[in-house]
Amino acid sequence: MIEEELAPVQRWAVKLEYDGTGLVGWQRQKSGVSVQSLLEEAAARLANNRPVSSITAGRTDSGVHALAQVAHLDFPADVRFSRHSVREGLSYHLKPHNVVVLDAAQVDTDWSARFSAIWRSYQYRILNRRSRPTLLAGQVWHVKSTLDVEKMQEAANILVGSHDFTSFRAVACQAHSPLRTLDQLEVSRHGDEVIVFAKARSFLHHQVRNMVGTLKLVGIGAWLPERVADALEARNRCAAGPTAPPEGLYLNGVGYDPDPFD
Amino acid sequence: MIEEELAPVQRWAVKLEYDGTGLVGWQRQKSGVSVQSLLEEAAARLANNRPVSSITAGRTDSGVHALAQVAHLDFPADVRFSRHSVREGLSYHLKPHNVVVLDAAQVDTDWSARFSAIWRSYQYRILNRRSRPTLLAGQVWHVKSTLDVEKMQEAANILVGSHDFTSFRAVACQAHSPLRTLDQLEVSRHGDEVIVFAKARSFLHHQVRNMVGTLKLVGIGAWLPERVADALEARNRCAAGPTAPPEGLYLNGVGYDPDPFD
């Protein structure tokens, strides 16, 4: 029996920043432009128009932004690249879209942007004032009622740790297990902005947005912080608050050990 | 001789935030949409379609943003307003433009947004990294070469104080005197961003952008800080650096004593 030979590849990790406005999210879809399709098409241009596939650390939804998303790309082995040429070449071909490659690094072919990740962090930005956003339009969730950040933090502390997050996962979530360990969930105010920072090894689909939608109910005084414990115990999506809109969410960073970009 | 009677008016001070992208600046112009025309048209809607005129503290240029611009509006005396109704009514009629009224306060008719102002402050945002901006596109000046912030501050210190700023004013500047007192000019780094903060009683046309364009030459090492003293002494626009682009500039705030919004 002859083993089928795979064409030899070189794998590159790339760090991406993007404005999710107007994009259908990470994953390739027929309904519009995705980050994945933009990135793979830019990569194909660098590979003399041969197809290049990508795997990402976080499949962000439509409208969600990224400050430091990580993906890997498998290029044909016969193209000669440097960190500089991958970063600049991809960024060039990603124009005029608001997607850019911040950094690139060659990695072993057993390294995976998705499976080698040891943590992901997100921030959720809420513009908490009467007036609608102008400079931050499409980049924050606008909440008019004054949020009580201390009460939100009290509720957030209930969610930190290892739990069954069924109440906070999208009904369509495809993960095998609803168990996750939430390492950090921090609520802070910066002038008119309230920021929720979340860090975990991995998150369920919509988990951050569902937690933020629930914390907002606590912040406006509609829920007491204790009710979040009841919502968590219910293991029922209907027991928690609504999903916060995508435009406030940012994939902040992805951790690896060692960090391929160091 | 009969004295002509002016229709009685009520004067309102308004605080505005706007994204200058796509606007021709503050002042009404035939070439496009101005903040002034948007504001006066929104005000006319609140005044049963009678004309309302405005005066501003800072006539920002095309593409320049504002975090807390101040203007005053003279409404007919017979309309009944509250702070709430002026703020919400104007903001409603300013839709869908990225211009919003943050606050409103009734003032005496001898109070002027322009002449009662005791200081103006601006910030200039530079994105100082290799990769082009995505989320901050149109809201920063992208400078790829690493800026030496300490050297820039050394140069900035030369400009602080009372000087003839002829070298840093637009040739078309209509101010009677080129003398200005610059109270603060501070350069700081926040990760990938370099921010120049400027405060003075008033500024000449393009003064902040011309100072930033010159400080950038120092930051990239093309100029020694001392050369800024020579440029200042030359009293010649050609002796200073180029004008930094409008998209990095923000009118941060305008000071009054007492503050009508307090």
Q: Which residues of chain B have pLDDT under 50?
A: none
> A119-254 belongs to which CATH class?
alpha beta
- Give pLDDT, residue A2: 55
> Is B250 a known ligand-binding residue?
no
pLDDT of B164-202, one tens digit each?
999 999 988 888 999 999 999 999 999 999 999 999 999
Q: Which residues of chain A have pLDDT under 50?
A: 1
Same fold: A9-116 with A119-254 = yes
SS (H, E, C) chain A: CCCCCCCCEEEEEEEEEECCCCCCECCCECCECCHHHHHHHHHHHHCCCCCCEEEECCCCECCCEEEEEEEEEEEECCCCCCHHHHHHHHHHHHCCCCEEEEEEEEECCCCCCCCCCCEEEEEEEEEECCCCCCCCCCCCEEECCCCCHHHHHHHHHHHCEEEECHHHCCCCCCCCCCEEEEEEEEEEEECCEEEEEEEECCCCCCHHHHHHHHHHHHHCCCCCCHHHHHHHHHCCHHHCCCCCCHHHEEEEEEECCCCCCC
Task: State the smallest CA–CA distance between residue B95 and chain A in angstroms.
Answer: 10
Reported as type and span, the H/E element at residue B212 is helix B207-219
∠ CA A92-A55-A114, rounded to 5°: 125
**Considering only CB atoms, which chain A residues are within 8 Å of B101?**
131
- Give pLDDT, residue A257: 97
State yes or no: is A61 an active-site residue: yes
- Supply the Cα-derived Rg of chain B in whole angstroms: 20
Establish, for the pair of chains A and B, how many residue pairs have beta carbons separated by less than 8 Å: 56
pLDDT of A167-184, one tens digit each?
999 988 888 999 999 999
- Give pLDDT, residue A4: 54
Asked if residues A68 and A252 have their Cβ atoms less than 8 Å apart, the reply is yes
**CB within 8 Å: A131 and B91:** yes
**CB within 8 Å: B135 and A65:** yes
3-state secondary structure of B154: helix
**CB within 8 Å: B100 and A129:** no
Domain spans of chain A, in order of start: 9-116, 119-254
- Give pLDDT, residue B5: 60
- Give pLDDT, residue B7: 76
- Domain B9-115 fold: Alpha-Beta Plaits (3.30.70)
- Give pLDDT, residue B4: 54
Q: Rounded distance, CA A199 to CA A254, Å?
A: 10
Instruction: Output the CA torsion sign for A161, A164, A166, A172.
Output: positive
Out of 3.10.20.810, 3.30.70.20, 3.30.70.580, 3.40.50.12780, the CATH code matching A9-116 is 3.30.70.580
Is B252 touching A (CB cutoff 8 A)?
A: no
Q: Which of B99, B130, B135 sits opposite A139 (nearest CB)?
A: B135
Q: Rounded distance, CA A47 to CA A38, Å?
A: 14
